[in-house]
Amino acid sequence: MSEVSDATPQQQVADMIEDGKAQQATVAVREPRVRRLNIIGRRNWFFLLSLVIIIPGIVSMWHNHFLLGIDFAGGTEFTVTFADKPDLATVERAVAAENANGSVIQTANGGYIIRYPPLGAAQQTNIQTDLQNRLGAMNVQQILEVGGTIAGETIFYSILAVVIASIAILALLAIRFRNVPGGWRAGFQFGGSALAALLHDVFVLTGVFSILGTVFNSRLGQIDAFFVTAVLTVVGFSVHDTIVVFDRIRENLRVSQRLSFEQVVNLSIMQTAARSIITSFTVVLVLAAIFIAGGATLQGLALALLIGIISGTYSSIFNAAPLLVVWRRLQPLR
């Protein structure tokens, strides 16, 4: 990796004199231990890496769609354990023999999730009796029944929430960054780049889940209301990281006027990378704890957040700020 030659220690001292805050600017400043990587110069490689992850995801979403959870697909789902502990094949045979279009999934603790098309209350009771007759005493842990109307509404409101949140964040950033040189247009460049990074994370997350659910057929890749929660949290987090970088760019633009825009952006990324990685690392630790200890219900949510937050950290460092540079080149403000 090449070094950025312009931001020498002397340069930093000069910045501090301009800043007027340091008391003894003549103090020799040691070269920071962080290696100066030229991220902006290699931006196309980073964009390429993102595309390599996103494109298969989009193909999978287009072609295979998703593995829908009960709250999106609609239906009735029983979570049960049997006293006789029958194996999966036995349960599958019994459910198939009912001719009620049931399907069986084994859970981690030896129980089963049996899913049917939406049943009424009376049919629910019938099915339960029938299962007991076929497989012996049964302990029902959970029954979920979701009709088609609710499923449709959940999908609608989920998408609506993502769209509204995106618009609100774009507006917030445009307002916050309108005071950088260039005014409102600059504000929209900042907001737009942050929004692009945010959509990047949403596509990475939904794409990976589409592949997990449909190609690998894993229950972890199931799309349900928890997944929507994860997407929106990732949206918030991704913007969190991006704002920290952008805020530093804003500050450095004021302080170091001799540097080119690219150099300011690169410097800002280097200065904030440690914080972004450390914060994400602590959150990743917490999520790993939830993933391991939180039980089956929370595993999908924890996995989605893990993927989204790692992607969010990546995109804030390697996509958002480089995109800002690209945008600035296409639409110079001065």
| Residue choice 37, 100, 150, 326 for contact with another protein (CB under 8 A) | 150
**143 sits near another protein (criterion: CB under 8 A):** yes
Q: What is the CA radius of gyration of the chain?
A: 26
Q: Strand pairing partners for 77?
A: 115, 144
Which part of the chain contacts another protein (CB under 8 A), choosing from 99-107, 144-152, 207-215, 326-334? Answer: 144-152
**35 sits near another protein (criterion: CB under 8 A):** no
Residue ranges in 233-292 that form contacts with another protein under rule CB under 8 A: 233, 235-237, 239-241, 243-244, 247-248, 250-251, 271, 274-275, 278-279, 281-283, 285-287, 289-290, 292
6 touches 270 (CB < 8 A) = no
Task: Report helix, strand or coil for 119.
Answer: coil
| Residue choice 4, 7, 57, 79 for contact with another protein (CB under 8 A) | 79
301 touches 286 (CB < 8 A) = no
Query: How deeply is 42 buried, as exposed, middle or buried, from its count of CB atoms within 10 A (0-12, 13-18, 19+)?
Result: middle
Which residue, 154 or 263, is less far from another protein as judged by CB?
154
**30 sits near another protein (criterion: CB under 8 A):** yes
Which residue, 27 or 333, is less far from another protein as judged by CB?
27
Nearest of 316, 72, 278, 76 to residue 194 by alpha carbon: 316
Cβ at position 169, least distance to another protein in Å: 5
**315 sits near another protein (criterion: CB under 8 A):** no
Which residue, 51 or 286, is less far from another protein as judged by CB?
286
| Residue choice 53, 105, 196, 232 for contact with another protein (CB under 8 A) | 232
**105 sits near another protein (criterion: CB under 8 A):** no
Cβ at position 60, least distance to another protein in Å: 24
**114 sits near another protein (criterion: CB under 8 A):** no
227 touches 209 (CB < 8 A) = yes
Cβ at position 50, least distance to another protein in Å: 21
Distance CA 42, CA 248 (A): 20
Residue 40 CA: distances (Å) to CA of 45, 49, 52, 321: 10, 14, 19, 8
**190 sits near another protein (criterion: CB under 8 A):** no
Which residue, 51 or 167, is less far from another protein as judged by CB?
167
| Residue choice 50, 60, 158, 311 for contact with another protein (CB under 8 A) | 158
Cβ at position 41, least distance to another protein in Å: 24
Cβ at position 329, least distance to another protein in Å: 25
Cβ at position 254, least distance to another protein in Å: 12
138 touches 132 (CB < 8 A) = yes
Cβ at position 36, least distance to another protein in Å: 15
245 touches 276 (CB < 8 A) = yes
Q: Which two tokens stand for residue 50?
A: 């993102």
Cβ at position 144, least distance to another protein in Å: 5
333 touches 181 (CB < 8 A) = yes
Q: Strand pairing partners for 114?
A: 78, 104
**12 sits near another protein (criterion: CB under 8 A):** yes
- Phi, psi at residue 22, to the nearest 5°? -70, 140
State in Å, rounded, how far the first CA of the chain is from the last one: 31
